[in-house]
Structure 1
Amino acid sequence: MLLPINWVKDYVEIDVSTEELAEMLTMTGSNAEEIISLREEISNVVVGKILSVESHPNADRLLVCKVDVGKEVIQVVTGADNVASGQLVPVALHGAKLPGGITIKRGKLRGVESQGMMCSGEELELKDSDYPGAEADGILILQEEYPLGMDIKEALDLGGDVIDFEITSNRPDCLSVVGMAREIAVAAGKTWKMPEIIVKPGTGQIGDELQVEVENAELCPRYLARVVKDIRIQPSPQWMRRRLAAAGVRPINNIVDITNYVMLELGQPMHAFDLDKVEGRKIIVRNALPGETLVTLDDKMRELTPDMLVIADANKPIALAGVMGGANSEITEGTRQIVFESALFDGASVRSTSKKLGLRSESSSRFEKGLDINMTLIAMERAVQLVQELGAGTVVEGRIDVLGASIEKRKLTVKWNRINQLLGLDLPAEKISEILTSLGMGITVDGEYMTVIIPTYRNDIEGMADLAEEVARIYGYDRIPLTLMEGSAAKGSRTQKQKLVRRIKTALTGMGMYEAVTYSFTSPSVYKNLGMTDPSEYPQAVRISNPLGEDQSIMRTTMLASILEVLSHNYNRQIKKCSIFEINPVFIPKALPLTELPNELLTLAMGEYGEEADFYSLKGKIEALASLLGLENRIAFKPARHTAMHPGRTAEVLLDEKTIGIFGQIHPKTAERYETDTGTILGELNLEALLEEADTDWQYKPLPRYPAVTRDLAFIVDKKVQAAQIVELIRKAGGKILEEVNLFDIYEGSQIPEGHKSMAYALSYRAPDRTLKDEEVNEAHERIIKTLEEKLGAKLR
């Protein structure tokens, strides 16, 4: 933000140098990036009046002028042909310096002495925006009366310094001359003032000229309008043009300049509409309708969407709320009636509209940060006052003020000594109150408690820490004493859950998998891509209120899509094999719309493709994790169906008969949608449930001292019988001496009856305290055979 020092002096006394002021404000949080000195290269140039003009005796194209420069009358020889007696002109005296390092000295031109030089706008490096006619040929003729001998920089308001400040996004109250005057006053111990606003009574009644309707009070909490008639469009006076130019704004005409001047002075963006172009003489603040368009002031067609707030008349949009006006209602040379708008628009809405249209403006950058609802009225009255002062039109009596909600100042009650504790200070309550009061806050101290009334322009102050920051920056960060940390050092450690997650990651990487990290925001289209054809099948998801885009507009309820996107990315770059996992939360809302935070369910997703990837490879990894968590005897699998997976190669993962996950081979249609290998295997587990049941109280167990006895069994069973059923029955029947069961063969062929299959298992028997006898092993073995025959109708091969 560019702050002209001469302007801010209207509202606060400044008795230090510009450099000292910049340093002072930097220490209080407003970082001064650069000091710009305006026209410092011009010196000893004054206002002079031409008393007479005569021809040069020795040159046809030169003129000899007598010029009154205040203290004396000097003679100046010039070649300009636009000079005449009685004109006021800038005169460079002997020793004057001009832009470009030019120094003016007395001398003779064709035998006639010249004691100075009358200057053109070009020689002073002035533009028409600096002074009307500055870019015309010839000597610059001053159109207004100035004291003779007055420094031209003072006369044309060319001098002074400008400080370029970096204002942080949480301090929009500092994006104005008045806001910075307030900061200067606090930092320097001075008093500051607002512009004195006196509006003379107008004519007529605004109700006869205009109606205003706000349809969306949530996005427009306050909207003010005033009407001005008999408009006279003309250039703004020099003082206003100079201030606008110094602040980095190009002067246009008196009405547009007034809106920009008020925005820079008070921080409240304003806009002016040509009332004759407002159809129905009605302003409606509403959301854009589907298919509506608007040509903005930069002459570009903008396609609008229903989530954008617009200012409309009875038939069409005439402005993008808080962003830019429309060309269909702009101020032109022919404008005779205007409507001034001063409003408060929702910052998030303005930011969203600005981003979607790729359109940023001085107004939008301010609204995005959040503005003071009270400043809308002050700014409106200031604009009307300037209209009257400049004679730019006739103000219609009254104003329309649509206020969506009552204006109440926020209150905070804190223990004032907690501010000292946070800062390492020992300030009395009186000093803290003094600092906060100087910042415009109302303070009441009651014992150890302090109640603070927050001004409406300080939306950034929300808690005690914010108050402490205000005290620190005004008291002075450099005055806070250095202190050593007290207390014993605390050793950081991981929770048991964090340790287990770390152990799982280590185990999975040890199995050849790579960890992936994907966005927790995703697109609603992922459910369709996962094979859910009916929208009613989609799980409820938390929608992001201000998403980066539709592809990141909801919080994910599954990580299968994220894993598939990573696998697809690698597959389409000719990576022959890929095995990845991700451990992160999914977000399951308890109810929609949200009344409380959603459940964040820690989830493990896995996926792989390549020659080594198949259903059993992923199943083995899941079993290995179960063993790592001490749950190997509580995990089971059963056939299942999932829209994203192959119907015959998918299984649920059960923990104590409760489903905690699913895995399987990708469905061919899903593979086609994601453009990945049809042999891709993927799965998703509720890691939260596994961690809650994990038994990691491992105890040392010595290596076996006695030999194992191995036996093989092969059974013919119905095709519908699952391997997990057989293993469960074998373990129960085998008793304590049965150490291990492994399926090593499945056979279906001509030797096996139709509708059946042969399943072969390797059984290992062992006792920890003795060598097993054949009788013990035979007894357990026969018990297993009998159980399988009775329970499953199995036949021993």
Structure 2
Amino acid sequence: LVTGITVGPSPFWLKERLSAVGLRPINNIVDVTNFVMLETGQPLHAFDFDRLAGRRIVVRTAADGELFTTLDGKERRLEPDMLMICDGEKPVAVGGVMGGLNSEIEDGTACVLIESAYFTPISIRRTAKRLGLKSDASHRFERGVDPRGTLYALDRAAQLITQLGGGKLIDGTIDVADDLPVAPTIELSVAATNRLLGTDVERDDIARLLSEIDFQVSTMNDDVLQVTVPSFRVDVSRPEDLMEEVARRIGYDQIPVTFPVIPAEAHPSAEAFLQRQEIRELLVGMGFAEAITYSFVPADAARRLGFGEQDPRSRQLAILNPLSEDQAVMRTSLVHGLLDTMHHNLAHQSRNLRLFEIGNIFISRGSDQQPEEIEMLAGLWTGDGNHAQWHTKARPCDFYDMKGTVEGLLKGLRVRDACITAQADEQCIYTAPGATALIMVDGEPLGIVGQMHPKVLAAYDLRQAAFVFELDVARLVARIPQRLKFRPLPKYPATTRDTTLIVARDLEADALVDFVRKADVPLVEEAHLFDVFEGGAMAPDQKSVSLRIVYRSVDTTLEDAAVNDLHKQLSERLVAHFKADLPA
């Protein structure tokens, strides 16, 4: 207890030292407690003695639901196992964490009671975590302080407060010591130490090195030393900790450098790893950036994406001890993470995004079973389809940009016979009807591509159109050919012919192209769509589709007559198969 003090600014040397380590100087009394904490590692607390009811300190646990206002001005609800420092009537501090507003040092404080204590680290960590309150004191108590250093820190603080505050130190201290931790005694093997460090240090040298830093060392036999740890070394509790001290004392530069024995030949990377790397490289080459989002998502993620009760993706696996409400369940779709990332970027004025992610989704089989894990690939495109240049204007991205991305990915992976066909409106969940397509290979669905549904965008507070694709990785990589087939460069020129058909308006142009490719017509090398026309003189239920077909022979230059005959036959087959008409 120090009486007759004067609270005021700290001297320059004290302010400078506190500022150098990031602490804000407050006044000479509080600054002394912070300085001694940094000097000794022992947190202290100074109470205004005149504001303590009954002029005494009582240590007890909190009552369930008890309210207390800490020094940061926030009222906190306490739990029964939290340790409280109280006066004769009320709590004045959360033990080992933070003091209260009702006993802080003020300009008019004349008498100061200094508290120095040792608290169980587990208790302080539990209290700080539950209250969501971190302080310099709790940081140190959680990691352990010297249980026998409380009186030294108390005397040091009293000396400085008397010196800087001009008060009078009252003789004596109240010391209540009960069940303090006993300094551990550890048996250290010299042979084990040298084997771990790769050194050849003698037993007597190890004993000397440890004794010089306040460890008490005695010899048990030629190999074993008995070491008593000083109370301030709370970080030493096992032989390996002592071995580390030996390494530090002899100098890390004295430990010989060795290299692990490794084979001279490298092992090839796993095929699965190489396939996923190829997917990443292709998408990055198309301007996409890889995103890595949490596997934990909010409990309402399935609802926001529109998954119904019968959809397997609505079966979310709950986390037993989630870090936050935003990470309460395991994800059942990668799209949530991409939309969340889009929202974050738009909030920071980054409106042009191309993102993709490869990761697992988790379909619950019940809380007592492991979930079904499915590896998926998802992509998102929003903002501009191409950036403004001096010769072109920017345009927003659309469905065909994302469809082209998927086609480019499949082509780059050498996946053949892929078909992108319209998705039925009733099957569109988080994508918009009329702007969604199903990705198929040989009748097996790989995934979807489409425009995000406006209701889903609204659920994520997004006001900008977005386009996504989602693919099943296992089904995708199963379609990647394991061997590449060499085909020599053509020696003879190709020739092209165009054909225009009038077909039903709801017929997909890709069906025409697919028919040509599979028609087994000799000399047909490639076919692609180059024009679609609707309206004008066309009937409302019809459209005009123009295809360009490439013919080439591997052993001769084609004659026009032969090509024209083949082209006529192919056109007639198209007309018959699709019930099409030729333009007048």
SS of residue paired to 2:346: helix
TM-score, scaled relative to structure 1? 0.47
Name the CA shift for 1:682/1:486 in 2 (closer, same or farther; >3 Å): closer
Partner residue in 2 for 1:342 = 119
- AA matched with 1:323: V
Name the CA shift for 1:678/1:340 in 2 (closer, same or farther; >3 Å): closer
2:251 equivalent to 1:479: no
SS of residue paired to 2:342: helix
CA drift of 1:320 comes to 3.6
2: CA distance, partners of 1:441 / 1:746: 91
1:84-95 map, 5 Å: none
1:312-711 map, 5 Å: 319-320=93-94, 322-326=96-100, 342-345=119-122, 349=126, 352=129, 356=132, 360-361=135-136, 363-368=137-142, 370-371=143-144, 423-427=197-201, 469-481=244-256, 507-508=282-283, 510-511=285-286, 513=287, 515=289, 520=294, 524=298, 527=301, 531-532=305-306, 537=314, 539-540=316-317, 558=334, 559-565=337-343, 568-569=346-347, 572=349, 578-583=352-357, 585=359, 588=362, 601=375, 603-610=377-384, 611=395, 613-634=397-418, 636-639=420-423, 644-654=430-440, 659-671=445-457, 678-685=464-471, 690-691=476-477, 693-695=479-481, 697-706=483-492, 707-708=494-495, 710=497
- AA matched with 1:480: I
- Deviations along 1:209-263, one digit per CA (max 9) or x if unpaired, are xxxxxxxxxxxxxxxxxxxxxxxxxxxxxxxxxxxx9997449xxxxxxxx9999
1: CA distance, partners of 2:482 / 2:237: 45
SS of residue paired to 2:415: coil
SS of residue paired to 1:741: strand
2: CA distance, partners of 1:309 / 1:532: 44
1:139-288 map, 5 Å: 249-250=32-33, 283-284=60-61
- AA matched with 2:409: L
Q: How many percent of aligned residue pairs carry the same amino acid?
A: 22
2: CA distance, partners of 1:725 / 1:608: 29
2: CA distance, partners of 1:468 / 1:133: 49
Check the 8 A contact 2:315/2:363 in 1, yes or no: no
SS of residue paired to 1:425: coil
2: CA distance, partners of 1:716 / 1:463: 83
CA drift of 1:293 comes to 4.4
- AA matched with 2:141: F
2: CA distance, partners of 1:603 / 1:267: 53
Name the CA shift for 1:264/1:649 in 2 (closer, same or farther; >3 Å): same
Q: In the comparison of the two structures, how many residue pairs are matched?
A: 517
Name the CA shift for 1:675/1:339 in 2 (closer, same or farther; >3 Å): closer
Q: Going by fraction, where is helix more abundant, 1 or 2?
A: 2
- AA matched with 2:381: G
1: CA distance, partners of 2:294 / 2:111: 55
Name the CA shift for 1:414/1:688 in 2 (closer, same or farther; >3 Å): farther
2: CA distance, partners of 1:410 / 1:694: 63
- Deviations along 1:65-118, one digit per CA (max 9) or x if unpaired, are xxxxxxxxxxxxxxxxxxxxxxxxxxxxxxxxxxxxxxxxxxxxxxxxxxxxxx
2: CA distance, partners of 1:521 / 1:472: 41
- AA matched with 1:605: G
- Deviations along 1:589-622, one digit per CA (max 9) or x if unpaired, are 8889899999795745231333252111211111
Partner residue in 1 for 2:162 = none
- Deviations along 1:12-71, one digit per CA (max 9) or x if unpaired, are xxxxxxxxxxxxxxxxxxxxxxxxxxxxxxxxxxxxxxxxxxxxxxxxxxxxxxxxxxxx
Name the CA shift for 1:344/1:480 in 2 (closer, same or farther; >3 Å): closer
Which sits farther off after the overlay, 649-658 or 309-318? Answer: 309-318
TM-score, scaled relative to structure 2? 0.60
- Deviations along 1:390-445, one digit per CA (max 9) or x if unpaired, are 765697xx9799x9xxx9x999999966x757755345799779978999799999
2: CA distance, partners of 1:728 / 1:625: 18
2:508 equivalent to 1:734: no
CA drift of 1:717 comes to 4.0
In structure 1, list runs of 5 or more residues that go unmatched.
1-127, 136-163, 166-244, 252-259, 384-388
- AA matched with 1:302: K
Cα RMSD of the aligned pairs, angstroms, is 6.7
Name the CA shift for 1:339/1:703 in 2 (closer, same or farther; >3 Å): closer
Name the CA shift for 1:499/1:133 in 2 (closer, same or farther; >3 Å): closer
Match of 1:712 among 499, 520, 527: 499
Name the CA shift for 1:717/1:348 in 2 (closer, same or farther; >3 Å): farther
Partner residue in 2 for 1:187 = none
1:298-309 map, 5 Å: 298=71, 300-304=72-76
SS of residue paired to 1:342: coil
